[in-house]
Amino acid sequence: MPYALFCNDARLSNAYPTEADVWELARKSGLVVEAVSGDNASARRPLLENDYEIRPCRADPQEDPFRNRADAERENARGLEWDTSTPDA
């Protein structure tokens, strides 16, 4: 099952083959912060900012999660950031 970035019930990203793919893209886009767990300051864990979350989803009928990952990797190699904004209508 593919995964995507969500805010509340709105899907903000393309679908990707694994949850790890979405975490990596979110990290590269600056959407991940390191949170301290409890009193142990050395026990940090990644946390998505705001109300973002990564959830399983269905890919759109014309969408290929593996192609989305390949496209994101190519864009990253060229230095382009992952854009979570909605395209202008």
The pTM of this model reads 0.75
pLDDT for 1: 92
According to DSSP, the β-strands at 32-37 and 40-48 are antiparallel
pLDDT for 81: 54
Q: Please give the chain's pLDDT, 89 residues, in tens.
A: 999 999 999 999 999 999 999 999 898 888 888 877 666 666 777 888 888 999 999 999 999 999 999 998 888 777 755 454 444 43
Of 66, 77, 49, whose CA–CA distance to 14 is shortest? 66
Phi, psi (degrees; rounded to nearest 5) at 72: -65, -40
User: Distance (Å, rounded) from C-alpha 89 to C-alpha 87?
Assistant: 6
Alpha helices, DSSP H, located in 1-89: 19-28, 65-77
- The number of beta carbons lying within 10 Å of the beta carbon of residue 89 is 3
8 Å CB contact between 57 and 13? no
